[in-house]
Structure formats: structure tokens, C-alpha cells
Amino acid sequence: MELFENDIRHCLEVLRQGGLILYPTDTIWGIGCDATNEQAVEKVYQLKKRCEQKSMIVLVSEERDIFRFVAAPDMQLFDYLEMCQKPTTVIYENAIGLASNLINQDGTIAIRICKDEFCRHLIKRFQNPIVSTSANFSGDLTPAMFKQINQAIINGVDYVVQWRQTETNENSPSALIKWNGGTIEVLRS
């Protein structure tokens, strides 16, 4: 547990300074930053060589966090998410309180309530949502485990989490849905 706590402390320090972290999530390894800090979000776009029109996911630690960053979410959605077996990211309308360069032009934002122990601890202690985007350059294959991450990505962040680096599970991105007043549009299963 000492490694876990050490990683949390280092991540908090970097996130509070507007830096970038490379960290394990409930799906794949992600590049992260403070989702409320426009300069930090811009650093992620630059590192990934990604245009700002291509949005990124935001991780929160619990259901009530959605109410801080989405105006009037549909309560039925939470019942649906309870039944999901796979980590599921939802595209919400009416995003609020996040970095403007993270919110899509149509006002939507992709948010996932993260169930991973490390992420939940980090987000709760940081008290802000964290960006989560795959640890690769835009257009490259998504690495399924830490050892597949390009060294240039590793070198491009301010802190690399040690926790779970040696795992060999082949992980995949979350399911992605858009919730339209009770109708589900599956964008990635």
C-alpha cells in the first residue's frame, strides 16, 4: 500500500500544479490532468498531437459529482449505469464547471464514474474531476497495458504512476453511450 499512497501524493502535487500524469484507470492507462484547468487540458492536446475538436473523457469518483458538471442530468440514467457490467462513459448535454477547451462545441461532455480503487482515491482527494484520454498519440493504436505505451508519451508527462505497471491484462476502452431522454445510443460497446 506504500507504493499506492506514494503515487497518490505525487499525482496530487502534479495535478495541483497544472501538470500531466500517466495513470491506470478502470479501463486502460490514461493521460490525465485537472479537468477544470484549461492550460493543463491544452498540454494534453499538445502531447497527444490531437485537435481540440476531438473531445476527451472526464473521470469523477461518484454519482453526485455529475451534478457539479452537468446541468440537470436525467436521473433515470443512474439506474441504467447501476446495471452496466463494463465501465461506461456517458455523453452528457449541458456541461458546466469544466475547462472550456474540454467541452464540445455542442455543450456536451463525456464523463465516467470511475470504480477503480486508485482513481477513486485520487479524484476524491484532489476534489476535482480528472481528464482521462488514452496514453497514445492521436491516430495510434490504444495500448492495452503499460508496457505498450510509447516512450515519448511516458517522457511527455510530469509523473508516471508506478502502481499496476507490471500487470499483463489486456485492457480495453470503456463503453460509450449517449443518453437521449431515456433512449440509449451506443457509440462504442
pLDDT at 55: 84
Domain with 104, as residue range(s), is 2-188
φ, ψ dihedrals at 184, nearest 5°: -100, 130
pLDDT digits (tens, 9 = 90+) for 101-140: 999 999 999 999 999 999 999 999 999 999 999 999 999 9
**pLDDT at residue 135 in the model:** 97
- Report pLDDT digits (tens) over 66-88: 999 999 999 999 999 999 999 99
Tally the domains of the chain.
1
The 10s digit of each residue's pLDDT in 139-178 is: 999 999 999 999 999 999 999 999 999 999 999 999 999 9
The whole-model pTM stands at 0.96
Under a CB-based contact definition with an 8 Å cutoff, are residues 98 and 36 in contact? yes
Element (H, E) at 63: helix 63-69
Q: Looking at residue 60, which CATH number applies to its domain?
A: 3.90.870.10
